A and B are shown apart, each in its own frame.
Chain A
Amino acid sequence: MDLNLMASSLPKLLSAAFITLKLLSASLIIGLFIGLLFAILRLSKNSIINRFAYAYSYVFRGTPLLVQIFIIYYGLGQIEYFRSTFLWVVFKEPYWCAIIAFALNTGAYTSEILRSAFQTIKPGIIEAGKSLGISNKIIFYKIQIPVAIRQSLPAYGNEIILMMKGTSLASTVTLMDITGVAKHIVSTTYKPLEIFITAGGIYLFMTFLIHNLIKYLEKKYSFQ
């Protein structure tokens, strides 16, 4: 074990952690909106809309994230027409491709988490709202959504951690996140054990922080 190398590679890896965090937060924010939208579509009584939402979550949950990134980054660029549209400005950047892939992926999982949360809301809460004469729209936005989000916090916390681990795949499309930088350092120093263990330690620390943040939020917004 080369402890000096571990210490000297730490600053480089830590600055790469910012890219990991940027990828994570951007994809989580977009993914949350996608997830909420598709959870609502899943609850729709229209069977076409319902099936469309189910197919989306099935496809994105049933295929590896790596395939999804590769289709978006390598695959879409192949379509001649697509390259001439304004969307190409976004899709030619590996950074945005990674975020789009991550957001679509986490959106699929989030939609499942939120759907089950919506379905397990106690009917009494909604009935109480109705008997107070609150309109359906306000019941939905002010009662159902906040309660669903609170109920899905533990599962969503797991999803955040899974997504954080997923961001390491950004290194396969040339992005220099923690894993990307670690691999680069290994290719120049030939010390895989030291570097990958240091990188793993940073990831572990981030997992620990996210875990505790979710625990804190669960306590803060507990029903009791």
Chain B
Amino acid sequence: MNARTRIVASIGTAIVAVITLNTPAQAQAAPTDPQIVGIVIAANQIDIDYAESALAKSETKQIRDFAQQMVADHSALQKSVFDLGAKLKVTPAESDTSNALKAQAKETATKLKAVRGKAFDTAYIDNEIAYHQAVIDSVNKVLIPNAQNAELKAALTGAVPLFQGHLEHAKNVQAALK
């Protein structure tokens, strides 16, 4: 297994474990609505941060265009999440899940910093594929089923096609780079 594959494998496994509550700390408690909003906010910010590191580091047009789209899309989604939280009077709350996501993202960012050029481009886009797949799985399996407020549930459901679009676009970029 090469370095790139190790990065991707560890990212995907860790994120899925964190968000699907398969680690001992989270195994008992399903997230509340404030915690769900906190998790979505954390997940959006993480991808914005990954994209900004790509814009700072990559010179490849497809990577830069994709990263620019991630900043734009996740920022728009972030705004809609904050607006919805304000409308529903749901204050985002931290949770073990959102904190674990942030910790995992910090580790990933460190690994991405260690590579450059084509290796960075490949690691970044591979991570985007693993990350978006993990987010889609967690939204479908954990966040939507546990959301109590109907409007929050509908908003989460509505966000899934956007994440799926990102996943497909990332796969197209990955194919183009090979």
A binds B: no
